[in-house]
Chains A and B, each alone.
Chain A
Amino acid sequence: MENEQVIIVRDLVKKFGDFTANAGLNFHVDKGEIFGFLGANGAGKTTAMRILCGLSSPTSGLVEVAGYNVKTHAEEVKKRIGYMSQKFSLFEDLTIWENMRFFSTVYGMNKTAFKERGEMLLRKLELFEKRNRLVSTLSLGWKQKLAFTVAILHEPSIVFLDEPTGGVDPITRRQFWEMIYEAADNGITVFVTTHYMDEAEYCNRVTIMVDGRIDALDTPAKLKEKYQVNSMNDVFLALAR
């Protein structure tokens, strides 16, 4: 199906006491899209993403993810998403294969399906021969590629990436984005939060949050044109400064 919407957000408001973290957000994300979710520290990104993942409930408004309302069907949402964060994604003292098996169990995959898909993904990553190595012995770049593979192991509709590529070298970084392109090509929607603006340039569309609101939503090219600047960094500075 073309242009099937896998995330629908209408008038999302989230308050903590008197503090409004999300002040009426409206957007949607299409199937297979790479969607960038940007904003300064404290702009409300994490709050919104926790709601999209079914970890927190909106104060008001409608949020549908993978066809389910996050307020009433949070568990159904959780089964259909993957999550990867730079801070925590893998167990350092387990091997590559043990990590994969652990997460396959968390996502309720059956053993045969896991063995087949796990092996296929690891072979593609050229890590299958090294599957019994401890994750702690891998470089940061390999950990990130493996963490992404784990996040899409159960073939989720949407994978959420929280600042995925900080600190790795330019070549590894591009291998990582190729994996993201490939996942999107296979119909997995990719939702990326970051405050590094050059990551935003890889997205099909980006939103920029400022003080709990969405102040901009468009393709990187159109945003740059609108603000008459050459980079997403300058778009961001124009909006957030």
Chain B
Amino acid sequence: MIQFTNISKSFDEVKAVRNVSLSIDEGQLFGFIGPDGAGKTTLFRMLNSLLIADEGSIELFGLDPHKDYKKVRQIIGYMPGKFSLYYDLSIEENLNFFATVFGTTIEENYHLIEDIYKQIEPFKKRHAGKLSGGMKQKLALCCALIHKPKLLLLDEPTTGVDAVSRREFWDMLKSLKSKGITIVVSTPYMDEAGMCDSVALMQNGQIHAVESPKAIVDNFQKELLAVKCNDMYKALLTLRNYENCYNVYPFGEYLHYIDKRDSKPIEDINDCLLKHDLQEIEINPVKPDIEDCFIELTRKLSV
């Protein structure tokens, strides 16, 4: 188990992490979801012993990352946000290097990386600097796995990677999880929350919620309506000025609208939009997704 207890960390005036407590079960695929500047990287670097917390304690499979840093580093596979590959070494040389540093060989743990490595093996003589984003990501993952870590720590592995490669990457993580590796991953993309067993929603150094993605969505108390019409910008301004509006914001092709009242307000909203000459109006109740929950949680905190 991984346990954070009242962890805080500041850099000069910037409070990067504020009193964070949470636990992560062994064998989980756990996601830290939050925008740039939320404190995800700082938290990761305290967990892997590269930073020391100002306050609080961390326990990682019975170890203290501060005191037992040598042991902790051996059981963690860490993939930082900017892949730490040697660009003037080939694919094969990079992998060999990381295996040697951890006192192992490619052969010994090949079964762990086989599925991923096979995809880049045809190019194994190519310099890492000449690989596409998707290929770099796969190589970096192999390098982080080659010493058979108990915990795989991935800091924004999918940032800047296209949709197809992102999907493949999550499939790889699921397969690694089935081999018994605990995986902790961070991402600014809310739509990736659904891929995790549990997620922590994080912003401004604080945790808004820690739960399964399903529970987070189920806990959304309010009735959410998706609104569409011929002029979305005008509809947005109209609804924002509507007296019973609790919140309204663009959501892809739709506006998401929440009313102050508990009763179903579809008719009233329809009338309000019609009165402002809007046409082709469509209003439907929808299930919230993680972004809706994040917005609501942020709103609750700021009020």
Contacts and interface: CB of A to CB of B under 8 A. Distances in A.
B34 A169 contact: yes
Task: Please provide the 9 A-B residue pairs with the shortest distance between their CB atoms, ordered closest to farther.
Answer: A201-B252, A169-B35, A181-B233, A167-B36, A195-B162, A40-B162, A167-B188, A174-B249, A170-B291
Interface in A180-203: 181-182, 184-185, 195-198, 201-202
Interface in B108-140: 132-134
B253 interface: yes
A37 interface: no
A113 interface: no
A172 interface: yes
Contacts of A169: 34-35, 38, 203, 294, 298
Contacts of A182: 233
A171 B295 contact: yes
Interface in A210-241: 219-221, 232-233, 236-237, 240-241
B216 to A, nearest CB: 13
Contacts of B132: 41-42
Q: How large is the interface on B (under 10, 10 to 19, 20 to 34, 35 or more residues)?
A: 20 to 34
A167 B192 CA distance: 13
A168 B132 CA distance: 24
Interface residues of A, number: 35
A166 B191 CA distance: 13
A88 to B, nearest CB: 15
Interface in A140-162: 140-141
B36 A140 contact: yes
A214 to B, nearest CB: 17
A177 interface: yes
A241 B132 CA distance: 16
Given A169-B203, A170-B294, A198 B164 contact: no
B222 interface: no
B163 interface: yes
B37 A140 contact: yes
A178 B236 contact: yes
A86 to B, nearest CB: 9
B278 interface: no
A139 interface: yes
B189 interface: yes
A237 B133 CA distance: 18
Contacts of A237: 163-164, 167
A202 B161 CA distance: 20
Interface centre among B35, B133, B167, B189, by most chain A C-beta atoms within 10 angstroms, is B35
